[in-house]
């Protein structure tokens, strides 16, 4: 296994906070779990937990995230936004993934609402955002990112629905370059004015105009993805002609962005 060259990543960073502390792990069950412990132990805003391999990586709704060693990027970012900024993270993180890929490759990813990043209709990256609160105070937020870089994606279970940079480009891409670009873009998107963030994020939503089936609290809604609002909600035009805003999460109280699924 080729280990990540952290000094090379640091040389490419132009951030002030994000990525300035990186906990590097050869293997772990899940970077989200380690990051949660570090957040409770007062890790600073922008700290990152990175692993070469996850043995129990998970995506939304607890789904398994395939995490082969030394091929991809598996990381969780610790953030300390105020409560009003929590919803914006569902825009910040997928947008930053798209921009990072665009910065280092000729690929142009799109976002499948709420937080999958696709190339050619196949999943390149997934995002999982969780937060922990105490009363009205948001203690911290965690942004987990799995980005397929040099994985051949030859597992029959996922080959038809997933892809990687190397699969799309026909050659490997240095993970250090991709990770540095991702951390740079995360800080830029996080600090962007709300209107600019929303416009850039909305322009990459591939779900708009598409028929979708959405599950919320064991109820299923079918319709057309009509629009997204500036809080990250999907506006679903139901088959009866009415519309329904569909948020990826509710206000925090041990909140996680897992409340709805869109297919």
Which residue ranges make up each domain of the chain?
6-202, 211-253
How is residue 257 annotated by DSSP? S
Top CATH class, 211-253 = mainly beta
What is the pLDDT at residue 58? 54
pLDDT digits (tens, 9 = 90+) for 166-217: 999 999 999 999 999 999 999 999 999 999 999 999 999 999 999 988 877 7
Cα(20)–Cα(183) distance, integer angstroms:
9
Q: Which CATH superfamily is domain 6-202 in?
A: Bira Bifunctional Protein; Domain 2 (3.30.930.10)
Between CA 136 and CA 141 the distance in angstroms is 14
DSSP 115-130: TEEEETTEEEEEEEEE
Give me the pLDDT at residue 259, please: 30
Beta bridge partners of 24: 50
pLDDT of residue 64: 52
Tell me, what's the pLDDT at 263? Answer: 41
Rounded to an integer, what distance in angstroms lies between the CA atom of residue 49 and that of residue 9?
Answer: 14
Q: What stretches in the chain show pLDDT beneath 70?
A: 1, 57-67, 247-263
Of 13, 224, 251, which is closest to residue 137 (Cα–Cα)?
A: 251
28 vs 6, 32, 41, 83, 131, CA distance in Å? 18, 10, 18, 30, 21
CATH topology identical between 6-202 and 211-253: no
Contact call for residues 105 and 97 (beta carbons, < 8 A) = no
């Amino acid at each position: 296994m080729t280990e990540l060259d952290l000094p090379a990543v640091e040389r490419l960073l132009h951030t002030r906070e994000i990525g300035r502390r990186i906990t590097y792990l050869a293997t772990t069950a899940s970077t989200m779990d380690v990051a949660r412990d570090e957040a409770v132990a007062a890790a600073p805003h922008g700290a990152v937990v990175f692993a070469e391999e996850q043995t129990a990586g998970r995506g939304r709704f607890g789904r398994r995230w395939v995490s082969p060693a030394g091929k991809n990027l598996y990381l969780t970012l610790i953030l300390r936004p105020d409560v009003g900024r929590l919803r914006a993270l569902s825009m910040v993180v997928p947008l930053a993934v798209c921009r990072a890929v665009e910065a280092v490759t000729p690929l142009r990813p799109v976002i499948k609402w709420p937080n999958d990043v696709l190339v050619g209709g196949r999943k390149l990256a997934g995002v999982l955002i969780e937060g922990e609160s105490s009363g009205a105070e948001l203690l911290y937020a965690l942004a987990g990112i799995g980005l397929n870089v040099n994985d051949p994606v030859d597992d029959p279970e996922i080959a038809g629905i997933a892809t990687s940079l190397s699969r799309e480009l026909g050659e490997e891409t240095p993970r250090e370059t991709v990770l540095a670009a991702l951390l740079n873009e995360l800080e830029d998107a996080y600090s962007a004015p709300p209107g600019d963030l929303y416009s850039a994020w909305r322009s990459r939503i591939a779900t708009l105009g598409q028929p979708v089936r959405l599950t919320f609290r064991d109820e299923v809604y079918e319709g057309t993805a009509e629009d997204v609002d500036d809080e990250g909600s999907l506006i679903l035009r139901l088959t009866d002609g009415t519309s329904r805003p569909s948020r990826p999460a509710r206000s925090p109280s041990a909140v996680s962005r897992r409340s709805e699924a869109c297919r």
